[in-house]
Every structure is written in C-alpha cells, then in structure tokens.
Structure 1
Amino acid sequence: ANAIKSKRIIELTSGEAGIMNHKDKVYLLDWMQLYKEEQKKRGKKNIGQIKSVTDILKEYAGERFTLNQIDLTFCHGYIDYMLTNYRPKGKPISASTRNTYYQIFNGALNAAVRAKRILKNPFNEMEKSEKPKMPESVRSYMTIEEVRSLIATPMQNEGVKSAYLFSCFCGLRISDIIGLQWKDVFIDNGQYRLAVAMQKTKEPIYLPLSNEALKWMPERGDKTADDHVFDLPSGINQLIKPWAKAAGISKRFTFHINPI
C-alpha cells in the first residue's frame, strides 16, 4: 500500500505530471490528500482545516469526482453547500470559517494548475461579489474613564499593569512591549523616544514618549542596553482579566485593547 501511495505521489508531483494528458483521471479527494501532505511538509499549520475541506468535498461531490470535472458551476455549488447544507455538530459554520474553507480549496486548485493537473482554476472566473468574504471585525476600545479606573485599581503584578498602561500611552503592541530593550530608548533634544522595529511589520518607527507614558516605564537602574525594559511573565492576558474585573470593566479585555 505504501509503495502504491509513493508511486502516485511521485507521478503527481514530478515532471512526469507535466506531460500527462489533462484528461487523465485524478480524483479530487486524492488531490486534496496530496495537497495536505505537501502543505504539511512545508510546515503549514492549516492541516486540520485542509482535512475539513476534504470532508466537505467528499459530502458534496462524493468519492469518484475527478479534478477535470471541476468547473465554475461546481465551485458555485461548493460555496452554496457550505452555506446551506454543511452542518458540523448540527450547526452552520461562521462566515469567517466559510471564507477560510474557500481560500483552502482555491489554494488547492491553484496548486493543481501549477502541477498541470487542470488547465485553470474556475474560482478565477467568479465575480468578487460571489466569493465568501471575511466579516469585518468590531474592535473594542477602552474609554478614558476606563483607563483612569484601571490606573486607580491595584494589580497583583504591578509590572504587568505598568506595561499595559505604557502601551496605552505609546501605542505599541504586546509583542513590541515584550521585545522592548533599553537600547531602544534614547533622548533626542530633550525628548524621550523609542526606536522600534515593529514585530508585525518589521518597519522601524520612532515614537516620542509623553510624560504619561514615561510615568509607567520602569527605572533602568543597572540594566544593560540589551536588557528588556519590562520583565513580563507568560500568560499576560489571563493576568490582566481579574484586574479589569476589579476595575469594573465588563467588556472583553486583552492587552490589544487600547484607548480610543
């Protein structure tokens, strides 16, 4: 069985696939299995989602559907099936999950085009308005009154409290706060600034620090330039939730929620 499986993978991924006729039968579920294995080899983390998409395609099209049978009508039907028929655990999937499953199947078809298993990806013929969309997220923000309440409320770990309030007054993400070192802090014509390469964008920024932000930055003491400004434990979001509750804040509260 392993020898047969290996032979199929070699045939589908090697140069031999490029000269095979597009009419040769390659079953859709076989291709999805191959696509999942290739993504796993590349270190991708969406393997479970690829399996879910394969299960949907098995329900929707059966086990004997071939790649060369896929057309625009099939792709429209796949999207409609997720919307109207697919009910894992008896409940419809969310719009964001539907968008993810569309993206995965679209990626698998693009891979099939590159491997010369199909001539084109029918999703490319679909109108943008017909494709699943990621719903716009509604972000929560802290009001000035809520920030004042947090300032007035003691916290078990005052270092975490200072880091959160520092982020409120300078706008850094949690990843940038964790990575902040004393060598990133400098004085320019009497103005304290931060020179930071953002963890998410890798773009350097130069932030002026207000007096309010400086109030929550710890003293450097004898720390070296490579030492971190904030000494923070793991699981910060779990630590700040009881603090927010004690301050009378009932909204969803994480380190990413800053003032408006």
Structure 2
Amino acid sequence: MNTCTKVFLRKKEISGDRISLYLDFYPPIRNPHTNRLSRREGLGIYLYGHPANAREREFNASMMEKAEAIRCRRFEQLLNEQFGFLDKEKLRIDFLEYFRKKCFKKYQKWKIVYQHFYDFCEGKCTVGEINEDFCKKFQAYLLKGGRRDGRKSKLAHNSIAGYWSTFRTLLKEAYQEKLLRENINDFLEKIEWKDTKIEFLSLDEVKKLAATPCKHEVLRRASLFSCMTGLRISDIQQLRWEHIVKTEDGYVMRIRTEKTDEEATLPISEEALAFCGEREEGLVFKTLKRSMINYPLRAWIKEAGINRRITFHCFRHTYATLQMAMSSNPYVVSQALTHKNLETTLRYTHEVPTALLETLGKIKIKPK
C-alpha cells in the first residue's frame, strides 16, 4: 500500500454560486476495502462563491478552518497508515455480491440462503444497509416461511432455523474481515431448533431399495453408497477416485467434508466400494445431478414399496441409526459422520429402542 506524503485542500466551483471543498491525495492511496486507488475525498463542505456580506464571509472563514483541520488530521492518519476514514467507501460495497462470492467456498445451504436474501432485498443491498433493524426484518421474512419453489406450504421450522444460523455466520465473517463495523449478532436472537423425528430406513427397507431398479442407476448406487458410508449428497458429488486409496487394512476415503470443512479418513467396505462402479479418472458419481434427489428419488422409493417421506439425507440417518442399533462404538460412529460433538451422534440412540433395552438389561443389581 502506498503511503501518501501530501494532502492538499482544493476548491471546485459548483452550481448555485457555491464552492465545494475536497482533499487531494498525492500519490493516490489504495482503498483497503475496494482495492481501488483514491485520489480525492469529498468533505461535504461548501462555501459561498461570492460572499455578499460579513456574515457570509465569516461563514466561509469558519468552513475553511474546519476543512484545514480535517486536512491536517488526514495527513497524520496517512503517516500512521490509518485508513479508517475510508469507511464511507466501504459502506457502498455491494453486500449481496460479497455474499454471492462467499457461496463459492461454502456448501449448498449457503446458496439457498443467498437466494432467500436476494429475494428479500430485491437484488440490491450495500454494506451500509446492514444493521440490526435490517437483519431483524430478514429474520421476520424467513419466519413467514415463504418458499422460493412456488409451493404453498411453508418452510419447515428447522429449515428456517438453519438458514438463519447460516446468515448469522455470514455476519460474523463479515465482521471478522472488518467489512462491518460491529458484530450485529450481539443484537440478534437465535431461532431455536425443534426436536423432530428422524426418518430412516430399516435394514429390510435398504435391501428392498437395493433390489428395486431405478431409472437413474447412478442415483441408486449413490443412495446405497450413502446408506453404507453416511456421506452427505454434497460430499458424494465431490468424491473423486483419487480420494479412495488402498491401505494395508483395506480401502479408505480421504476427504474434506463440504459442510464442516473437516478432513477425514474413512474406511470403506468392499460392498460399499462396489457401488462406486469401475475405477477411472475424476468424479466417482460423475453423472449424479441434484435434480435426481427430488422426483426421481421419490418415484424410486415408492416403487420399492416404501410409503414414507424419505429424502436423500435420510440415507445418512439410516447409516447412523443402523450402526447404533448394532451397538457400534458411538465415538467411532461420530468420527465416521464427521460430527463435531458426540451429542449429535447420540441422538440416534433415541430412534433405536431395542438397542436401548439391551443396554438397560446389562445393568443388574440383584444378587444371584
């Protein structure tokens, strides 16, 4: 960044017989927020072009003193490489564009939240508009539960809670990157999650799916692969053959999960590996599309005789629940699911009453 050594006070004649005062930097300074070179700073101070009396002349003299004081302060700030006075440039930065670029580095939910926020602000939003009141209005917008897909039913409460949590993460990152002056999250309430029943498939239902032909074979293979590994759709779509390597103990997947950005080395069974198909270069499930997990998935599940609402994410629940039902070590299952805390994994025990009964039955206090 260039250090400015000279700051000049300049005048410019404008309409209405007025003179506008501004600062001229030489050499130009680079704005740390926009990365653009700045040569001028408008002061918002105006003089009478032709003062007609003593009052107007006194006014001009007073304004010149204020402008000179600002010039001296700017000179000192630039010598100390303090560029906070450029914050007014930062306020004009396109916050919506900042959000959009963030989505490239994040997982799918960020893109969904971006679309909701785009609709809310009608495609225009600057950094200067982001404040407590504006964010609370967006929260209220989400709580109304409107859907972007045109369906009349409202968004599920936990979907809204997740979207709001993602937006608050965006605000936190914008504050940490000094785009926002204050941490607005300090003034925003969370939307609490509600306990919901976790949908999953029984082992017999998984076998039914495996035996049922699917219009999209890649969807069938990816779904069963998720049941056997617990991988999310986002991670399955990004899985590449070079991520699957052979070790002394068998095959493992070395991946970085999209949602949690966690690196993990996960064992993969021979049966699960078979669903990947013939080994080649690039993506494992290269023809798998997001659109397939909607109607095509529902149709396939119905053909298998399963008459419940099962989403692709339910295959991840299936893996976790079946593992817990088999009395697998919860810590190991937590690692396989790349959960950040064990409590998230333990919730699957509530869906397996038989496993709980077996555990309770192991505690005996009566003497033989």
What's the TM-score, normalizing by structure 1?
A: 0.55
Relative to structure 1, is the Cα distance of residues 148 and 209 closer, same or farther in structure 2, using a 3 angstrom cutoff? same
* Match 2:221 to one of 162, 175, 181: 162
Specify the code of the residue in structure 2 equivalent to 1:207.
L
Root mean square deviation of aligned Cα: 4.8
* Match 1:249 to one of 288, 306, 312: 306
Kindly report which structure 2 residues correspond to 1:97-246, keeping only aligned pairs within 5 A, or say none: 100=164, 124=186, 131=189, 133-136=191-194, 138=196, 139-220=198-279, 223=280, 226-234=281-289, 235-238=291-294, 239-246=296-303
- Paired with 2:43 and 2:298, the residues of 1 have a C-alpha distance of 57
Cα deviation code 1:116-171 (max 9, x no counterpart): 8xxx9998579xxxx45233363422222221111121112222211110111011
More displaced 10-residue stretch of structure 1: 209-218 or 131-140 = 131-140
Specify the code of the residue in structure 2 equivalent to 1:133.
I
Q: Which has the higher contact order (CA 8 A, sep 6+)?
A: 1
Matched residue SS, 2:314: coil
Report percent identity of matched pairs: 25
- Paired with 1:170 and 1:180, the residues of 2 have a C-alpha distance of 12
Matched residue SS, 2:277: coil
- Paired with 1:87 and 1:214, the residues of 2 have a C-alpha distance of 40
Does structure 1 retain, via aligned residues, the 8 Å contact 2:235–2:258? Answer: yes
Segments of structure 2 that go 5 or more residues without pairing to the other structure are 1-40, 45-90, 101-113, 123-131, 147-152, 322-368
Does structure 2 retain, via aligned residues, the 8 Å contact 1:178–1:230? Answer: yes
Relative to structure 1, is the Cα distance of residues 240 and 42 closer, same or farther in structure 2, using a 3 angstrom cutoff? same
Specify the code of the residue in structure 2 equivalent to 1:184.
H
What's the TM-score, normalizing by structure 2?
A: 0.40
Q: 4+ residue runs of structure 1 moved beyond 6 angstroms?
A: 14-17, 91-94, 120-123
Specify the code of the residue in structure 1 equivalent to 2:209.
L
Does structure 1 retain, via aligned residues, the 8 Å contact 2:145–2:156? Answer: no
Count of matched residue positions in the alignment of Structure 1 and Structure 2 = 193
Deviation at 1:50, TM superposition (A): 4.4
* Match 2:120 to one of 41, 44, 49: 49
Matched residue SS, 2:266: strand
Segments of structure 1 that go 5 or more residues without pairing to the other structure are 1-13, 18-34, 52-70
Specify the code of the residue in structure 2 equivalent to 1:229.
V
> Which of the pair is proportionally richer in strand?
2
Greater Rg, structure 1 or structure 2?
A: 2
